[in-house]
Each structure stands twice: as C-alpha cells, then as structure tokens.
Amino acid sequence: MSKLIAVGLRGAYEARDLLLDLDRSDTPDRAENANAILVEAASLTGYPVNGMRNILRMVGYDPYTKFLYESFGNVFTQDNN
C-alpha cells in the first residue's frame, strides 16, 4: 500500500474515488487522468493493469468503503466558513 501513496492512493476513499473516475463518461479528461493513475499504480505494485483495476473494484465497492465515501464525501466540498 505504501507504494501507492506516490499516486495519491492513501486508502479506500481514494481507491473508490479513482474507480468512479475510471468509469466516468461525462468528463473524458478525468477518466483519462484516472486511467494514467491506474497504469502507474499497476507499474508501482507489479500487478497487471487488469489486476489493479480488479483490486480497485473490490475495495471501491466494499460496503464499508461506500459508507466511508458517502459519509465524508461532502466534508471536502462544503464551504467551511
């Protein structure tokens, strides 16, 4: 896991965020960037790209990850003034 910090994957929250960006069709730039991060993450870990994508799916769709993402997702977008 420590190898993935270099590409911004610190934990389950970021894994889900990347997974959702990979599947985006409304913003091709974000999907393209997410794919580049996926390829780099695969390279850093030595996993094949499809294996890394599967890991992201397993983590990203886990019920606890979904709870975490939905619970704290608005914290980063709200105006804290």
Digit-coded pLDDT (tens) for 22-81: 988 888 899 999 999 999 999 999 999 999 999 999 999 999 999 999 998 766 554 544
In a domain, 20, yes or no: yes
Domain count of the chain?
1
In a domain, 38, yes or no: yes
* 3-state secondary structure labels for all residues of 25-76: CCCHHHHHHHHHHHHHHHHHHCCCHHHHHHHHHHHHCCHHHHHHHHHHHHHH
In a domain, 79, yes or no: no
In a domain, 81, yes or no: no
CA–CA separation, 43 and 6 (whole Å): 12
In a domain, 11, yes or no: yes
Specify the pLDDT at position 76. Answer: 58
In a domain, 67, yes or no: yes
CA–CA separation, 51 and 59 (whole Å): 12
Specify the pLDDT at position 22. Answer: 93
In a domain, 80, yes or no: no
Which structural domain, as residue segments, surrounds residue 19? 2-74
